[in-house]
Structure 1
Amino acid sequence: MNESVFTYAAPRLRYGPGAADEIWYDVAQLGARRVLIVTDPGVLDTGAPGRVADQLRAHAIEPVVHDSAHVEPTDASLRSAVDRARADGPFEAVLAIGGGSSIDTAKAVNLMLTNPGDLLDYVNAPIGRGQPPANPLLPLVAVPTTTGTGAESTTICVLDVLALKVKTGISHERLRPTLAVVDPGLTETQPRGVTASAGMDILCHALESWTARPYTSFDRKAPEQRVPYCGANPVADLWAERSMSLLSRAFRAAVQSGGDPSARADMALAATFAGLGFGNAGVHVPHANAYPIAGQVRDFRPRDYPPDEAMVPHGMAVALTAPEAFRWTFEASPARHLAAAELLDPDHRGPWDGSPRDVLPGILVDLMRDLDLPNGLHAVGYAESDIDGLVAGALKQQRLLATSPRTVTPEDLTQIFSRSLRLWD
Structure 2
Amino acid sequence: MSIALRAAPSKKATVQSLMALLNRSCTCPAHGGMPHPPHSPSSLLKPQQHSSSRYQASTAAASNMEREYAFEMATSTMRFGVGVTQEVGMDLAQMKARRVMVLTDANLARLPVMATVVDSLRRNGVEHVVYDRTRAEPTDKSWADAIAFAKEHRPDVYLAVGGGSVMDTAKAANLYANYPDRDLLEFVNAPIGKGSVVDKTLSPLIAIPTTAGTGSETTGTAIFDYEPLHVKTGIASRMLRPTLGLIDPLNTRTMPRQVKIASGLDVLCHALESYTALPYHERVPRPRTPAERPAYQGSNPISDVWSLEALRTTVKYLKRSADDPDDMEANTQMCLAAAAAGVGFGNAGVHLCHGMSYPISGLNKSYKHPEYNVGHKIVPHGISVAVTAPAVFRYTAPACPDRHLKAAEIFGADITSSTSSSSAGHLLADQITHFLQELGVPDGLKALGYSADDIPALVKGTLPQHRVTKLAPLATGEQALTKIFEDAMVNY
TM over 0.5: yes
Residue matched to 1:62: 127
Q: Which runs of 4+ in 1 moved over 3 A?
A: none
Matches of residues 140-219 of structure 1 in structure 2 within 5 Å?
Answer: 140-219=205-284
State the Cα distance separating 1:24 from its structure 2 match: 1.6
Q: Deviations over 1:97-125 (max 9, x none)?
A: 00000000100000011113121111111
Deviation at 1:280, TM superposition (A): 0.3
Deviations 1:122-144 (A, max 9, x none): 11111111122343210011110
Q: Secondary structure at the match of 1:168?
A: strand
User: 1:265-304 counterparts in 2 under 5 A?
Assistant: 265-304=332-371
Does the CA-based 8 Å contact 1:248-1:345 persist in structure 2? Answer: no
SS in 2 for 1:14: strand
Q: Secondary structure at the match of 1:37?
A: strand
* 2:472 match: secondary structure: coil
Question: Aligned to 1:41, what secondary structure does the other structure show?
Answer: coil
Q: Is 1:343 equivalent to 2:410 in the alignment? A: yes
Cα distance in 1 for partners of 2:326, 2:318 equals: 11
What one-letter code is carried by the residue in structure 2 that aligns with 1:389?
A
CA RMSD of aligned residues (A): 1.7
Residue 381 (str. 1) matches residue 445 (str. 2): no
- 5 Å matches for 1:25-104? 25-87=90-152, 89-104=153-168
- 1:8 deviates by 0.6
Deviation at 1:346, TM superposition (A): 6.8
Bigger Rg, structure 1 or 2: 2
Match 1:105 to one of 142, 155, 169: 169
Q: Distance in 2 between matches of 1:29 and 1:3?
A: 40
Task: Deviation per CA, 1:145-171: give whole Å up to 9, x if none.
Answer: 001111111111100011110100011
User: Structure 1 counterpart of 2:409, which letter?
Assistant: E
2:430 matches 1:362: yes
1:56, distance to aligned residue in structure 2 (A): 1.2
> Is 2:160–2:207's contact at 8 Å kept on the other side of the alignment?
yes
Q: For structure 2, list consecutive stretches of 5 or more residues without a partner in the other structure.
A: 1-65
1-side partners of 2:205 and 2:187: how far apart?
18
SS of aligned partner of 1:356: helix
Alignment of 1:374-413 (within 5 A): 374-413=442-481
Question: In structure 2, how many angstroms separate the alpha carbons of the residues matched to 1:238 and 1:118?
Answer: 38
Whole-Å separation in 2 of the counterparts to 1:18 and 1:202: 23
Provide the residue aligned with 2:307 in structure 1.
240
- State the one-letter code of the partner of 1:79: A
Match of 2:78 in 1: 13
Is the 2:200–2:239 Cα contact (8 Å) retained in structure 1?
no
How many residue pairs were aligned? 421
How does the TM-score come out when normalised to structure 2?
A: 0.83
Determine if contact 1:33/1:60 at 8 Å carries over to the other structure: no
Partner residue, 2:379: 312
Partner of 1:423: 491
1:180-230 Cα distance to aligned partner (Å, 9 max, x none): 110000000000001111111000000000000000112333323210001
Shift of 1:345: 2.4
2:389 to 322, 325, 336: 322
Q: State the Cα deviation string for residues 349-391 of structure 1 (Å, max 9, x = none).
A: xx99x93321111111111111111000010100000000000
Normalised TM-score (structure 1): 0.96
3-state SS of 1:355 partner: helix
Instruction: For residue 254 of structure 1, give the secondary structure of its aligned residue in structure 2.
Output: helix
CA 307–356 in structure 1, closer or farther in 2 if over 3 Å, else same? same
Equivalent AA in structure 1 for residue 177 of structure 2: L
Structure 1 alignment gaps of length 5 or more: none
